[in-house]
C-alpha cells in the first residue's frame, strides 16, 4: 500500500545523507560536488537570485522528498519485488545523477563538465542515495 508519509521521510533522510556525503567529499577534496548538488543556476527565475546555503539545501530536500514519494508510489502500484526495489531505486538514482551532472556547465561555481573526480564522486553519491532510499522501501511482501 502507498504511504505518502513514509515516502516523505525516506526522501528527507536520504536527501540529508546525500548532502552530508557530498559536503564531506567537497571539504576533503575541494571538488565542488556539494555546490553542484545545491546549484540552481540552470533553473529559470531561480537563477536570478543567490540563496543562502540552507535555502538551497531545502530545495534539494524538497526534490528528494518528491522523488521518494513518486518512487514509493511506483513500487506500491507495480508491486516491485524486494530485489527490484533495490536494483531499480539505485538505478533510477544513478540515472538522475547522470542526467543532472551536465547542469554543471551552467555555473562557474560548480566543477568543470569534464572533471573526472567530480563525476565519480557525484555518481557514487547518487548510488549511495539510491541504496539508502531503498532501505526504506524494502518490506516483506506476501508471496503469491
Q: Residue 107: its pLDDT value, please?
A: 87
Residue 144 and residue 130: Cα distance in Å, rounded?
27
pLDDT tens for 6-64 read 999 999 999 999 999 999 999 999 999 999 999 988 888 887 888 899 999 999 999 99
> pLDDT per residue over 62-74, tens digit each?
999 999 999 999 9
Count CA atoms closer than 13 A to 102's CA, side-chain side: 4
* Residue 137 predicted with pLDDT over 50: yes
pLDDT of residue 24: 98
- With a CB cutoff of 8 Å and minimum separation 6, the contacts of 2 are 72, 73, 76, 77
Q: Find how far residue 130's CA is from the centre of its chain.
A: 7
Q: Which tens digit of pLDDT belongs to each residue from 74-126?
A: 999 999 999 999 999 999 999 999 999 999 998 888 999 999 999 999 999 99
The per-residue pLDDT for range 117-133, each reduced to its tens digit, is 999 999 999 999 999 99
Predicted pLDDT at 5: 92
Q: Which of 79, 92, 94, 86 is nearest to 141 (CA)?
A: 79
Amino acid at each position: 500500500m502507498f504511504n505518502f508519509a513514509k515516502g516523505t521521510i525516506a526522501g528527507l533522510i536520504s536527501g540529508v545523507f546525500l548532502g552530508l556525503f557530498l559536503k564531506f567529499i567537497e571539504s576533503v577534496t575541494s571538488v565542488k560536488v556539494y555546490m553542484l548538488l545545491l546549484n540552481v543556476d540552470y533553473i529559470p527565475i531561480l537563477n536570478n537570485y543567490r540563496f543562502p546555503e540552507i535555502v538551497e539545501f531545502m530545495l534539494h530536500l524538497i526534490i528528494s522528498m518528491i522523488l521518494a514519494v513518486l518512487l514509493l508510489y511506483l513500487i506500491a502500484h507495480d508491486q516491485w519485488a524486494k530485489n527490484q526495489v533495490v536494483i531499480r531505486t539505485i538505478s533510477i538514482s544513478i540515472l538522475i545523477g547522470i542526467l543532472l551532472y551536465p547542469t554543471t556547465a551552467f555555473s562557474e561555481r560548480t566543477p568543470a563538465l569534464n572533471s573526472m573526480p567530480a563525476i565519480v564522486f557525484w555518481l557514487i553519491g547518487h548510488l549511495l542515495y539510491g541504496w539508502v532510499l531503498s532501505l526504506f522501501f524494502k518490506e516483506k511482501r506476501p508471496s503469491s
